[in-house]
Amino acid sequence: MSDNIHKYEEVRAVARELGFDVQLMPGLKLEVQSDSIEEVSRKSAILAYLLVGRPLLVEDAGLYIQALRGFPGPYSSFVYRTIGIQGVLKLLEGTSDRRACFKSVTTVIYEPFIIVERGEVCGFITDSPRGSRGFGFDPIFTPEGSEKTFGEMSLEEKNRYSHRAKSVYSALSKLKKMMEQSGWGPGNVLKLG
């Protein structure tokens, strides 16, 4: 469901930590539109599972900017494609409130389990882009506790703060615990949607 190699690399690093192998599912993109990233993640995962019939993981995220009343939120991908980083910075011109949070929801379907977990990191929007790593709004977001933007961080650095790493880690940790309680072990392949 995702062709985003950057997202895949972030998720794969977390999954490996927990003993899971995650593979990319290029070409299959089912994204539900909603004002809720939880609904987008959960419904997209269920639809994808009905199509592929295999264990899978779907993660959806959004950038919520305080001065813009949470915009772009669940529409972050669309906003990035249409007005981009410069458009968002233009919307923030004249405001001193640069607070923002990245929020993520990960849904894992591994029958009979359906797990939905959240992750969040707050920080602020910079005045100009910094760094060329990551993707999307990473070059203008600095998490609390860091002076670097996500765009300036290595994958390992970003995953120490990342909303995505938090939601994926939480979902896969819960899955691992449930599997162990059921007498299963990880090592099976999850598809990334």
For residues 164 and 119, the answer to whether their CB atoms sit within 8 Å is yes
Counting Cβ atoms within 10 Å, is residue 57 exposed (0-12), middle (13-18) or buried (19+)? buried
Instruction: In whole angstroms, give the CA distance from residue 6 to residue 51.
Output: 24
Q: Are 50 and 98 in contact (CB under 8 A)?
A: no
Q: Is the dihedral of CA 62, 141, 67, 78 positive or negative?
A: negative
**Where do the H-state alpha helices sit in 67-153?**
76-82, 84-91
The one catalytic residue in 3, 21, 35, 60 is: 60
Catalytic: 97?
no
Query: If you ran DSSP here, which 8-state letter would residue 35 be given?
Result: S
Question: E-strand spans in 13-68?
Answer: 21-24, 56-65
- Return the active site residues: 60
